[in-house]
Every structure is written in C-alpha cells, then in structure tokens.
Amino acid sequence: MLRRFCLCETLTSERKRKAIFGLADSAALIPKFLLAGFMTKMKSLAKQTAVYGLSNMLGKFLNWCLVPLYTYVLTNSAEYGVVTNLYAWTALLLVILTYGMETGFFRFANKEGLEPKKVYSTILWCVFGTSVLFACAGVLFSDGIAGVLGYSAHPEYVSIMCVIVAMDAFGCIPFAYLRYENKALRFALLKLLMILVNIGFNLFFLVACPKIMETAPGVIDWFYKPDYGVGYVFVSNLFSTIFVTLMLTPQICKAGFSFDKALLREVLKYSLPLLVLGVAGIMNQTIDKIIFPYLLPDRADADAQLGIYGACFKVAMVMMVFTQAFRYAYEPFVFAQNKGGDKKKEYSDAMKFFIIFSWLIFLGMVFYIDILKFVIRSDYWEGLRVIPIILVSYLLQGVFFNLSLWYKLTDKTQYGAYLSLIGFCVILSVNVIFVPKYGYMASAFASMACYFVVVVLSYILGQKYYPVRYDLKSAALYSIVAIAMYIVSQTYSDCNVWLKYIGNTILMILYVVIIVKRDLPLKALLRR
C-alpha cells in the first residue's frame, strides 16, 4: 500500500519504558512480586514487537504479491511505469502531509502535565484540516497537475491519488493512537485487512471482470470499462483506503472535538523539523522514480523503462524485508544495551552478522535469478541486470541504519538529516546526468552511490563522536568473497541450466562453510 508501516517510533509510552528500565536496574532491591510484574511487562513488550514486526513482514509480502499480478495482467510495462511513478509521488506526499505529527503525538501524549486525549484530538483535527485542504486542491486542479505529470488523458488518476493520500495521512493519527493504547493486534489486523481488501479489488477488476465480460457482459458493463486498465489499480486502492478509514471510526470518535491552539504550536515546533528529515529520507528512495519520466525525450519509452525498473526493484525487496526485520530486532536492542554501559562490542558483532547474512541473501537471489524471474512477465526480464545493484543498495542502506546508532545515542540526530540531504544530492545528480544516456541502469547505480556515500560519511563521523571498533576485516572479507563468487558465477551463466545451478549451489555451500568455520562454529552453537 501507499504507506510503509511506520513502526520505528516508540511502541509503548515513554513513562512505561522508563519504569521498566528503572525496575531492571534495581531488580535486586525489589520484592519478587514487583520483579514478576516487570517480567510481565517485558513479555508484553516482546509480544507487541512480534505482532508489529510479523504483521509488517506479512503485509509487505502480500503487497509484493501484487507485482506478478500487475506485470502479467497489465497490457505493457508502460502501464506499470505509471503505477511506479504515481506511487513514488504519493509516498513523498504522505510524509509531507503528516509533517512529523505522528512522532509529535507520541512525544506530547507522554509528556508530564498534558492530557493524552487532548493531544490526540488537537493533532487529529489539525491533520484532518490539512488533509481535506490537500484533497480539495488536488481534485480542483487535477487537470493542470495531470498535465504537468504527463497524465493529461487521465486527470482522474490525480484526483483519486490525492484523495487516497489525504485519507492515509489522516489515518496515521488514529493508527498512532492504537499503538499508544497498546492495541497491537487491532493495529496489525486493520493494516492487513486494508491490504487484503486492496488485493481483493485488484483481483476483481483486473482478473474477474475481464472473464465476466467474455461470458456475461450485461452483468458488469454498467460500471466496468475493459480499456481502463491501470486505472483500476488506483480505484482498488481508493476502495481499500475508504474501508480502513471507516474501520478507524471508533478511534476517531474517541478524540472528541477539543482543540488547543497553544498546544498545537508546541507540537508543530517539535514536529516540523522532523519533516525535513522525513522528506530527505523518502526522497532518497523515490526521487529516481519521480523524475525518471522527465529525463528521457520520449514519454512512452520513459514509462516503459520505468515499469521495468520498478518491477525489478520490487523483485529485489527480499533484501529490504530482511533489513526491516533486522531493524525491528536491532533498534530496541541498541537502546536497551546502552542502558547497561559500554556495549560497543555487541554493536560491532551486530553489524558483522548483518553484513554476513545480507551477502548470503544476495548470493541466494543472484544465483537463482532464473527461477525468481518468473515472478514477472518475460518482457520485464531485460531489467533483471539491475537486481544485483539494487541488492547492494539495500545492503548499504542496512549498514547505514546500523551506523546511525552513533547520532541516536549521542542525541546528534541533526546529522541524520545532513547525511540524508547529502545522499539526496548524490542520487539526484547521478540520475540527471546519466539517465538520459543509460536509462534505468543509471538510476540503479545512483541509488547504490547514494548509500555508499552516506555509509562512508556516517562511519567517519561515528568514529569521531561515538567510536565503535567495527570488524572491518570481516566485512571486507565477506564482501570480497561474495562479489568474487558472483563474478565466477557469471563466467558460466550461459551453460546448461542444471550445470549452472550445480555450480551456484556449490558456491552457496562454500560461502556457508566459510561462515560456519569462521564465525558460527556448530559446536559452540550446539553447546548453547
């Protein structure tokens, strides 16, 4: 769906977390029944983390399943290029329309002396107002906006997407309130229901309706247009967003109608700076897909190339899902470990094993790409060459996240914004300079260059402000081994398919053997 699951904020209130860690630090001095209460709270936190994490992974997988549907059902890659471009725009607009208020809600709802319900109501109706204004403006000026974006034949695409992103932005706040109330299960179910409803409508419009038109056209010809094609992707998204907004009605009603202007000024003062960081971060992920149609002289060719690039980018999402899963486990670990003193060795080990297993996923995907390629239709296969580059980009993105602990633990979060802005400049300049000549391959390399630069800069700054002795030797070793194995596999890529699979499997086994011999001895694991 449009909105990534924004689960990186605090899952429980600040006061609860402080109470929990305070109990942990003085566990030896408190009665057993209080210690039992502490353990219950920790189990609850772990359970909620699992619910959020697993539902997020499942949601991403379900959304990923739409990729083969679109590539096999839509007429050509240009139509999927339209999907890729408009969803990149909406991801950016969603960050702008929430303008840090989701994080602001958690900050002020847990602030001493403030009533959480008043904070919720004030923020909810503020975001509601800006969302309504945006939706109205988008609908009123849809013709002009569609012309600028290159969709003058379908201004309704703009209208639909503006309404969707407005409802999504408004829905962020009730979803945040669910998390504040520790209703992880309801949160997860609503997210998954939204995705399932979207998939259901996509299947109905793109698969079922064409079949019905062949046998009983009179049943659906009053609303279904066979030549509308990609438009039904956006219609399906609209229906699913309306559905989940209605399901959020109980949380919306809880807000009441209180509105505190003085409180709002304080919240905006806190939240708006976060907008810069959010926009910079999302632009690094979407700018190539936003500007791509403007960088080639032929718009039809640009849409076709963007469709191929977008589909192959989605195929490589396995690495991103692993990075996200690691993030769920790692971020709570970092802050919890930091309470116990110097845990830099643990941070170094976490980085090492992230790199080890990221390269393992890389090899698994590139070695068996001839199987994975059937996820998308054959006319998209020419873009498979970008997958190794995209996988490395995701790996570097994960390394950057690991490195980011230095500015989080030292409260120098402004450096996160600076690094994101530098990355944005890199990815924008590489796209503008090289896409006109090299097409989507330049976009793939731009993404990799962006994260390579921010990784290097973050490492240098981190060693200055919060030095951690990362195992650079192991990182270099596994990187060199994985890249060398990939190069070796390319030397016999034109051989018989079974010989190729045998050779690649031998290389995979060899990589695993190196891991076991060097860093994960089986005897030690069995003893544990």
Note the pLDDT of residue 4.
38
Residues 270-279 have pLDDT tens digits of 888 778 878 8
Whether the pLDDT of residue 367 is over 90: the answer is yes
How many of the other CB atoms lie within 10 Å of CB of 46?
Answer: 11
Span between the terminal Cα atoms of the chain, in Å? 41
Note the pLDDT of residue 44.
53
Chain mean pLDDT for the chain: 84
Residues 96-115 have pLDDT tens digits of 999 989 888 888 888 877 88
**pLDDT bracket for residue 184 (50, 70, 90):** confident
Lowest average pLDDT, out of 96-100, 289-293, 349-353, goes to 349-353
**CA proximity to 505, closest of 347, 363, 331, 383:** 363
Note if the pTM is more than 0.85: no
**pLDDT bracket for residue 6 (50, 70, 90):** very low
Average pLDDT over residues 344-350: 79
Task: Give the Cα separation of 86 and 142 in Å (integer).
Answer: 13
Q: Answer for the pair 441, 386: CB distance below 8 angstroms, yes or no.
A: yes
Note the pLDDT of residue 390.
94
Residue 373's alpha-carbon distances to 206, 307, 367, 383, in angstroms, are 22, 15, 12, 10
**pLDDT bracket for residue 402 (50, 70, 90):** confident
Note the pLDDT of residue 17.
38
Note the pLDDT of residue 203.
96
Lowest average pLDDT, out of 7-21, 73-87, 466-480, goes to 7-21
Give me the residue label for tokens 């247009």: 225
SS3 sequence, 445-465? HHHHHHHHHHHHHHHHHHHHH
In 3-state terms the chain splits into helix, strand, coil percentages (rounded to 5) of: 85, 0, 15
- Nearby residues of 120 by Cβ (< 8 Å), 6 or more positions away: 105, 109, 173, 177, 180, 254, 255
**pLDDT bracket for residue 50 (50, 70, 90):** low
Task: Give the Cα separation of 447 and 442 in Å (integer).
Answer: 9
Whether the pLDDT of residue 477 is over 70: the answer is yes
Task: Give the Cα separation of 343 and 466 in Å (integer).
Answer: 12
Half-sphere exposure of 38 (CA within 13 A, CB side): 18
Note the pLDDT of residue 430.
96
Q: Look at residue 221 and give its three-state secondary structure.
A: coil
Note the pLDDT of residue 523.
57
Q: Which two tokens stand for residue 291?
A: 């500007």
Whether the pLDDT of residue 11 is over 80: the answer is no
Note the pLDDT of residue 326.
63
Task: Give the Cα separation of 228 and 234 in Å (integer).
Answer: 11
Q: Look at residue 181 and give its three-state secondary structure.
A: coil
Q: Answer for the pair 435, 296: CB distance below 8 angstroms, yes or no.
A: yes
Average pLDDT over residues 478-501: 92
**pLDDT bracket for residue 10 (50, 70, 90):** very low
Note the pLDDT of residue 454.
94
Note the pLDDT of residue 337.
46
Q: Answer for the pair 184, 48: CB distance below 8 angstroms, yes or no.
A: yes
Residues 198-229 have pLDDT tens digits of 999 999 999 999 999 999 999 998 999 999 99
Average pLDDT over residues 56-83: 89
Task: Give the Cα separation of 431 and 268 in Å (integer).
Answer: 34
Helix H or strand E encompassing 339: none
SS3 sequence, 473-515? HHHHHHHHHHHHHHHHHHHCCCCCHHHHHHHHHHHHHHHHHHH
Average pLDDT over residues 412-427: 87
Say which DSSP state 343 is in: -
Note the pLDDT of residue 521.
66
Task: Give the Cα separation of 237 and 234 in Å (integer).
Answer: 5
Whether the pLDDT of residue 47 is over 70: the answer is no
